[in-house]
Amino acid sequence: MLFQGMKELKEFCIPFSSLKLGPNFFDFEIDKSFFDIFNYSRYNSCNISLNLEFRKENLLMDLRFSYSGYCEVFCDRCLDLVKVPISNNFNCLIKFLHQEEEIIKDDIVYLPEESFEYNIGQLFYEYFLVNFPKRVIHKKTQCNSKQIKLMEQYSQKQIGKEEDPRWNILKGLKNEN
Binding footprint of Zn ion on the chain (CB under 5 A): 75, 77-78, 138, 143
Q: Cβ(96)–Cβ(59) under 8 Å? A: yes
What's the closest the beta carbon of residue 136 comes to Zn ion, in angstroms? 9
Looking at residue 132, the DSSP 8-state letter turns out to be: S
CB of 9 to Zn ion, least distance (A): 33
Parallel/antiparallel/unpaired status of strands 108-112 and 81-97: parallel
Ranked by CB distance to Zn ion, the top (closest) residue is: 75
Residue 142 or residue 168: which is nearer to Zn ion going by CB? 142
Phi, psi torsion values for 79, nearest 5 degrees: 70, 5
Q: Compute the least distance from the CB of residue 31 to Zn ion, in Å.
A: 23
Nearer to Zn ion by C-beta: 78 or 109?
78
Q: How far is the CB of 47 from Zn ion (least distance, A)?
A: 21
Nearer to Zn ion, 77 or 83 (CB): 77
Cα(137)–Cα(171) distance, integer angstroms? 37
CB of 80 to Zn ion, least distance (A): 5
Taking the least distance from each CB to Zn ion, the nearer of 30 and 75 is 75
Pick between residue 38 and residue 74 the one whose CB is nearest to Zn ion: 74
Residue-by-residue DSSP string for 21-74: SEEEEEEEEEEHHHHHHTT----SEEEEEEEEEEEE-SS-EEEEEEEEEEEEEE
Tell me how far apart the alpha carbons of residues 19 and 127 are, in angstroms, rounded to a whole number.
Answer: 25
What residue type is 14 in one-letter code? I
